[in-house]
Chain A
Amino acid sequence: MASIPPEFKVSIDSARCRKCGICVNNCSFGALEFGDDRVIPDDSKCVACYRCVSKCPDNAITITNYQWANRGNANWTPETTSNIQKQAEFGGILLSGMGNPRPHKIIWDHLLIDACQVTNPSIDPLREPMELRTYLGKKPDNLEFVENKEGEIELATELQPQVKLDVPVVFAAMSYGAVSLNAHKALAMAAKKSGTLMNTGEGGLHEDLYQYSDNIMVQVASGRFGVHNEYLNTCSMIEIKIGQGAKPGIGGHLPGEKVGEEISKTRMIPSGTDVLSPAPHHDIYSIEDLSQLIYALKEATNYEKPVGVKISAVHNVAAIASGVVRAGADVLTIDGYRGGSGASPMVIRDNVGIPIELALATVDQRLRDEGIRNRASILCAGSIRSSADIAKAVALGADAVVIGTAALIAMGCSVCQRCYTGNCAWGIATQKPELVKRLDPETAAQKLTNLLSGWSFELKEILGSLGVNSIESLRGNRERLRGYELDEKTLELLGIKSAGVGQ
């Protein structure tokens, strides 16, 4: 390892340090040690998770980027060179956690929202009702009514199951295994408090969480871990995972050391074994196969729960989405190329897939062109960072959004991208008991709830400034978006006008 220069540098201000050793105990990456009556850092092990910084009572610790002598080479950057060095040292695939960190243009930041002036008054959300309620599920093309004996009309159409969300935000699929049980608990509790859903991910559902069934979306992925009848019926909806934005076309791998007793029970696999999720579902090699699985799951749940399908945003996403909806999916989740992951080959994460903004816009338009937009709700995933991103996603056509990384950050994650190591210093992406207990589910749930409530207030402000009082009047309303510093083609694909253009 010596030949690979460290990424970060840990500096301890000895004039401030009281030598309490708290930082040493807190560093789960083994970067700090006590010796010689002082804290000795090993820069090469530091991942800049800031755990020590936040715990140091004396503010004695500073983490900085390790300064390379800058040879001014924009092609062979420190990152590129050190990646080569790592592979030269170890062979194998470079892994990383979290989503694509590259500085590509973030389209969300180039979308601007409209507001009312004079002719259409804005609405004060503090004085008037503002509605965010959203229902996920298949909607019929139209409703039919009959007249009853008293001459009153009654609904004749039987609607397919609908899942109610009080906020148009659900928590992303993060499996028990990739994250800790405490993290899962926090997500479930927060989903209940906020009137939304948490997604089990592909690792099954721990029995302690069965009580939250109304706020749970269970996932069925290629490995089918933890999928059994009770699991399928302990939820308000099911999601079949086909792809993930951080690693389209790639399976998953949970190393054996993470598979303890509880995980082994929940996933229904022997403890200590590596858990491999195959890249494709071995029973899905075509859209007809997907359709069969969708209907098998509907059969298993007596047609009482919507069945969704999650795909990653790849080049042909609009056509694939249309196929998925025609195959019977009630909810379609699209995960963009910035979507997060506990562990993903860097080469895939950073180079495969397309931006969610373009994927969402083209899928929504395609489904409308085909007259089937009502047949499935659209969930938009892949780096939703703020209420503004939500408003923009909804305006482009999403029914609701999915947050993974943002939820983790609310719980304490510092985006150090080392989820795959199992050493998460914040007790989130780890199974080590001493680390897991650092995450208090109640506190983390409260933070998640606070985040969603803050975003709800902001969304209501945005709706009010747009002069509408219900989210469905923003949904798909691209007329209220403008693009700034975007090229013609991007504007065309997004279906929006350039900033500066009126009606």
Chain B
Amino acid sequence: MKSSCYIPSGCSISAMMSESGKRIDGRAITKSIALMHDRSNGLGGGFAAYGIYPRYAEQYAFHMMFNSFEAKGVFENYLKDHFYIVHDEEIPTRPGAVYEEDTSGINIEYGMNPITESPVLWRYFVDVPGNRTQFVSESEYVFEKVMEINSKIEGAFVASSGKNMGIFKGLGYPEDIAAFYNLDEYKAYIWTAHGRFPTNTPGWWGGAHPFGLLDWSIVHNGEISSYGINKRYLEPFGYRMELKTDTEVVAYMFDLLVRRHNIPIKTAISALSAPFWKNIDKMPERERKIITAIRQVYGSALLNGPYSIVLGHSRGIVGFNDRIKLRPMTCARKDNMLYMSSEESAIREIEPNPDTVWSPKAGTPVIGELYEEVE
């Protein structure tokens, strides 16, 4: 694995969703993120894809990274103790592969950094044994196990743990990561992608985006300056921040607020990217009461600092910015497709004639929802 490197700049994110549940292969998203090659530095790229495992749609899909086969062994013993393994296999990869297509980007040199080394990459499709969920919900059970694996099993790391979804990520440019994982062979109704330019946190395979927990995946361009308190807020709820990066708190925050506290996603966003008091005070009463209480109770969940974020989950995507929009995000729609990206060009690269293109305002989430069943 490559060592850490500290060069300041941004990152790139891109996301696409078919709200009608049509599954699309990974070439388009790869092309979109490849156009923004210069926004990454080869120290991390990745993709989240929803709808890719119809055969095992009912199982939790664990995408695992291991530092060694020994760690894999320890993990598998653990997994057998806590889950019923329906199927497992090596995640197919092509070491040395590089992105071979062209984009409309000028002066971008693709293919200079083939991915030759990787951790051991394996996926497991598991069921939760029925007798384990007498006192906790199934999702809570899986959550606890993921936390335990990441913090206790040396050299084993859960990249994703949702159903019918998976996260493919590593050290390298995102388009090369796509080639490495053969993403053209997967079909998903939601794709999110990230190209990383690590600055404040070391670059390593587990540290690349997207971050996943259960159904959630996060791609994030920016910094969470409030990380210290967000982390301390999450810890008593059983979240363990092991990934040496600030992005994981975003995923955990959604998990806590939406899955465990049952807060509607839109309302949860008003905790994470809260409106200013001066605007809250002017809101109609019902809304003012809600948002005031949200800020009083979930003040430590406020994500402060510059960011644009796309949250993925099995029913949709949500894109949102920090409170004063210090990082870029553009959205577009075409028919049933919703696009979000750091740059408009990255959307036009794959959809030259969108119906609408807009830049959402700070703190205003853009929400894509599945309104038909996945094909």
Contacts and interface: CB of A to CB of B under 8 A. Distances in A.
Interface of A: 116, 118-121, 123, 128-129, 131, 133, 135, 139-140, 142-145, 152-155, 157, 159, 162, 368-371, 373-374, 466-470, 472-480, 503
A118 B263 CA distance: 35
A145 B264 contact: yes
Contacts of B274: 470
Nearest to A365: B232
The CB with the most chain B CB atoms within 10 A, among A133, A152, A371, is that of: A133
Given A121-B326, A152-B286, A478 B296 contact: no
Nearest to A481: B228
Given A121-B306, A123-B324, A476-B300, A467 B223 contact: yes
Given A143-B263, A144-B262, A162-B296, A473 B302 contact: yes
Contacts of B324: 123, 128, 469
A467 B305 contact: yes
A296 B348 CA distance: 67
Contacts of A135: 296
B226 interface: yes
Contacts of B232: 368, 476-478
B274 to A, nearest CB: 7
A162 B296 CA distance: 9
Q: Give the size category of B's interface with A.
A: 35 or more
A180 to B, nearest CB: 36
Given A153-B290, A467-B304, A475-B229, A142 B199 contact: no
B227 interface: yes
B228 A477 contact: yes
Contacts of B199: 118-119
Contacts of A368: 232, 235-236
Interface string B135-179: 000000000000000000000000000000000000000000000
Contacts of A476: 228-229, 232-233, 300
B219 to A, nearest CB: 17
Among the interface residues A118, A159, A466, A469, which one has the most CB atoms of the partner chain B within 10 A? A469
Contact of B299 (A144, A153, A154, A475): A475
A369 B236 contact: yes
A478 B199 CA distance: 20
Nearest to A496: B228
Contact of A139 (B226, B228, B296, B306): B296
A155 B223 contact: no
B187 interface: no
Contacts of A475: 229, 299-300
Interface in B280-321: 286, 289-290, 293-300, 302, 304-306
Contacts of B231: 479
A124 B286 CA distance: 32
The 10 A-B residue pairs whose C-beta atoms are closest, nearest first, are A479-B228, A472-B299, A473-B304, A473-B226, A120-B223, A477-B228, A468-B304, A477-B229, A142-B261, A467-B225
Given A119-B8, A152-B286, 19 more contacts: A118-B199, A119-B199, A120-B306, A135-B296, A143-B261, A144-B262, A153-B290, A159-B297, A368-B236, A371-B236, A467-B305, A470-B299, A472-B299, A473-B226, A475-B229, A477-B229, A479-B228, A479-B231, A480-B225
